[in-house]
Structure formats: structure tokens, C-alpha cells
């Protein structure tokens, strides 16, 4: 083999080895994950104790990927996974309008949505719709998993608020034709925005003194704030989507506003603001005004 050919082959071999080493180096770099956050005793942090539920604390000890935290303002300590923890003060992040975040209000940290960015001052909205101001060092940018929890939290909160508004618009129980309360009769009485079970103790032409099903409590209520116990003559008119008052488990509790999801001659399927379903008979519900 000529010297020229040998030299050419050597060049090819050198180029091949260099390409191989470069590819290995790139693969090693790609396989090398970002270094996890390192915490030490005394660090201030915010931890996601459960989905979209947060608390502030200090690190007591570190064992592998788990931290033992002392909650601020409390005496209990809790174990959390390091990936569920955010360091305080937060590192700088790019912020965008309407992004979901974790906001500090006083000693509390809660889900929020960023509604205004103005220099070092921010404005956010809680899941309940309340606007509040906060500085940048009281806003934490969530991880991908926490952001998913925040999305679910806001969706659930919005659904519950829509249910509450619709239930409030349904109004009060439909008055039974020709019904008037009688002395010692068991009935429903409106106290504030809630309806409770009670017994008529005194009665005149305009008002009634009603004893509630709780020790040593009675209220004076106008006759318009009283309604008969079920069964109601309007049950047969109920349709899917209507709202009713549902009898509580104990007489001292208020009657719950629930929505009819399905019904037949013997049974109704009801749901509350959280979507929890219950079965009921006509003797357990009072229809509300449509």
C-alpha cells in the first residue's frame, strides 16, 4: 500500500474517532439532568402539602429527597418530598398575565391567577374572585405538576361558584296553596340565608316564635319566612336541573340546596356544588321557585 493511501486511511480513522467522541459527549450531556435544589436546616420554604394546598415553613432536617419542615406559626412538623417545595425568597422568573401561581397573603399561601404586572407590584385574583395586591417576592411560579393542580382547583372553584349562584337564583320554597302554620307544628323557617327545621311555639297574625332543633334557641320570624315540611304538592312538577332543599342528616343542620339530576316516580337523584350525588324521596325535598 502506498504511503499516500495509508495517510488517507489514517485521516478517515481520525475523523471517525472524533465524530464518535463528540456524539458520546453530546449524549452524556443530554443524559445529565439538572441538579436538584439543595436544602439545609433553617431554609425558608413553601410546601404543597396536598393538591393546591400550601403552607410556609422552615427546614428542620434533610433525608435524601425528603424534608422535615416546621410550619410557621405552628408546633407540628411534617415530612414532604423535596420536589413539592419552593424556596423563599423566590428566584426571578418571567411573569405573564393570567398565569397561575402561588400567592402569599399574610402567613397564607394560596392558588391565584396573575391579573396585573406593574414594576415590582403585582395584582392577583383568588379562586373565589377576590382581587389583591402583592410584591414580587410573594409570588411563586409553580412546577408543571403544581400548575396542573392549580388548573383543577380553579376549574372546581368556578364550577362551585356557578352552582351557588344558580342555587341562589332559584329563590325560596314555593308556598303551598292555602297553607298556614299552626301552633306546635313542625316546619321550615328561614334564618339568614338558610332554612332550618323548627317548631312553632307562639303564633300571631304576622309572626311566629319558632324553636329550632338546637338547645335553647328560638327565632321570631314573619310568616313569609315559614314553609311546610314535605311532601310538597309541587314535587310532581320537578324537572331535571331544578333546585330543591334537601333534608339534613340531623335537624340542627340547615337544609342543603341541591340540583335535580334525574328523577322517576319513586326517587330523585340530587347533586351538590361539588358534584356529590345523593338519592332522595319526595319526603326529603322541598322544591324551590323555578
Residue 86 has pLDDT above 90, yes or no: yes
pTM (global) more than 0.75: no
CA–CA gap between residue 158 and residue 183 (Å, rounded):
44
What CATH number does the domain containing 62 carry? 2.30.30.30
The DSSP bridge partners found for residue 209 are 202, 220
Let me know whether 198 and 227 are in one domain: yes
Which H/E stretch holds residue 134? strand 131-135
Residue 81 lies in a domain: yes
What is the number of structural domains in the chain? 3
- Domain for residue 19, yes or no? no
**Residue span of the structural domain in which 59 resides:** 37-88
Q: Provide the pLDDT confidence category of residue 74 given band limits of 50, 70 and 90.
A: confident
pLDDT in tens, 182-240: 999 999 999 999 999 999 999 998 999 999 977 668 899 999 999 999 999 999 899 99
Confidence grade of residue 14 (pLDDT, cut at 50, 70, 90): low
- What distance separates the 2 farthest-apart alpha carbons in the chain? 126
More confident position, 30 or 251: 251
If phi > 0 it is left, if psi is from -120 to 50 it is alpha, else beta; for residue 241 that is: left
Say which residue, 216 or 243, is predicted with more confidence. 243
The CATH number assigned to the domain holding 195 equals 2.30.30
Residue 117 lies in a domain: yes
Considering the domain architecture, whether residues 52 and 119 belong to the same structural domain is answered as no
Q: Judge if 283 and 210 occupy the same domain.
A: yes
Q: Up-side HSE of residue 282: CA atoms within 13 Å toward CB?
A: 12
**pLDDT band (50, 70, 90) for residue 32:** very low
Domain of residue 156, CATH code? 2.30.30.140
For residue range 97-119, list pLDDT tens digits in order: 999 999 999 889 999 999 999 98
Alpha carbons 2 and 239: distance in angstroms, whole number: 98
Query: What Rg, from alpha-carbon coordinates, does the chain have?
Result: 32
The residue among 169, 195, 211 that closes a domain is 169
The H or E element containing residue 108 is: strand 108-118
Amino acid at each position: 500500500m502506498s504511503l499516500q493511501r495509508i495517510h488517507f486511511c489514517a485521516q478517515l480513522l481520525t475523523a471517525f474517532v472524533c465524530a464518535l467522541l463528540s456524539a458520546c459527549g453530546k449524549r452524556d450531556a443530554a443524559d445529565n439532568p439538572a441538579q436538584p435544589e439543595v436544602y439545609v436546616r433553617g431554609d425558608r420554604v413553601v410546601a404543597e402539602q396536598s393538591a393546591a394546598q400550601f403552607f410556609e415553613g422552615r427546614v428542620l432536617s434533610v433525608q435524601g429527597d425528603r424534608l422535615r419542615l416546621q410550619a410557621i406559626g405552628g408546633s407540628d412538623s411534617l415530612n414532604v418530598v423535596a420536589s413539592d417545595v419552593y424556596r423563599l425568597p423566590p428566584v426571578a422568573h418571567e411573569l405573564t398575565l393570567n398565569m397561575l401561581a402561588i400567592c402569599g397573603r399574610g402567613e397564607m399561601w394560596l392558588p391565584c391567577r396573575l391579573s396585573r404586572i406593574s414594576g415590582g407590584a403585582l395584582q392577583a385574583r383568588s379562586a373565589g374572585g377576590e382581587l389583591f395586591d402583592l410584591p414580587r417576592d410573594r409570588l411563586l411560579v409553580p412546577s408543571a405538576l403544581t400548575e396542573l393542580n392549580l388548573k383543577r382547583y380553579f376549574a372546581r372553584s368556578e364550577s362551585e361558584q356557578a352552582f351557588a349562584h344558580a342555587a341562589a337564583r332559584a329563590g325560596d320554597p314555593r308556598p303551598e296553596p292555602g297553607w298556614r302554620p299552626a301552633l306546635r307544628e313542625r316546619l321550615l323557617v328561614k334564618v339568614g340565608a338558610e332554612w332550618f327545621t323548627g317548631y312553632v311555639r307562639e303564633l300571631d297574625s304576622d309572626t311566629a316564635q319558632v324553636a329550632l332543633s338546637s338547645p335553647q334557641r328560638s327565632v321570631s320570624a314573619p310568616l313569609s319566612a315559614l314553609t311546610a315540611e314535605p311532601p310538597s304538592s309541587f314535587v310532581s312538577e320537578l324537572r331535571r336541573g331544578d333546585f330543591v332543599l334537601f333534608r339534613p342528616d340531623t335537624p340542627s343542620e340547615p337544609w342543603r340546596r341541591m340540583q335535580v339530576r334525574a328523577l322517576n316516580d319513586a326517587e330523585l337523584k340530587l347533586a351538590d356544588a361539588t358534584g356529590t350525588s345523593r338519592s332522595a324521596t319526595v319526603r326529603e325535598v322541598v322544591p324551590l321557585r323555578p
